[in-house]
Amino acid sequence: MEPIRVIGSELRPSVLVVEDEPSLVESIRFALEIEGFLVLPAATGRAGVELARSASPSLVLLDVMLPESSGLDVCRQIRQGSDVPIVMLTARDSEADKVAGLELGADDYITKPFSMRELVARVRAQIRRSERSGRIEE
Ligand code: CA
């Protein structure tokens, strides 16, 4: 896949944000849209799994703490059908969550609270890596 650099078109890389806190979703949306990403929000794990399948995002930002399902379950479900890069968001600085996420196929994690600069940098790094590898196993 060619690296996508076009801003303001349908070819913008898209980031699916699975998070139930509206204020955080808006902060993330603002930070990513300024950088040229298209943001697809999902407030529940179920909506996230469906959008991951139907919208083929460039990357998934996935909160561990969701109202109806654990982000870890959502990660497992997305991985059943997709190699999309997944970055977990966790409020807890919990080694167990991080290890579980990585073992379920997440590519990276960010511990809350995080800066938007860090978030954008990690999103960019993961998308670059997936473009370079063509999602071939490393
Ligand atoms: Ca949450």
Percent of the chain residues past pLDDT 90, beyond the cut = 76
Backbone angles phi and psi of 55, in degrees to 5: -105, -10
What is the crossing angle of helices 45-55 and 71-81, to 10°? 20
pLDDT score of 9 more than 60? no
- How many whole angstroms from 13 Cα to the centroid of ligand 1? 23
Angle at 33 between CA 113 and CA 55, to 5 degrees: 95
Q: How far apart are the CA of 68 and the centre of ligand 1, in A?
A: 10
The pLDDT score that the predictor gives to residue 30 is: 98
CA of 77 to the centre of ligand 1 (A): 18
What residues have a C-beta under 5 A from ligand 1, the ion?
20, 63, 65
Distance 91 CA to ligand 1 centre (A): 8
Strand blocks (E) in 43-131: 59-63, 86-90, 108-111
Model pLDDT, residue 14: 97
76-133 confidence digits (pLDDT tens): 999 998 999 999 998 766 788 888 999 999 999 999 999 999 999 999 999 999 988 8
Higher pLDDT, 54 or 138: 54
Q: What is the mean pLDDT of residues 20-34?
A: 97
Closest CA relative to residue 36, chosen from 2, 9, 1: 9
Strand order in the sheet with 59-63: 38-42, 14-18, 59-63, 86-90, 108-111
Which pLDDT value is given to residue 138? 45
SS3 of 18, please?
strand
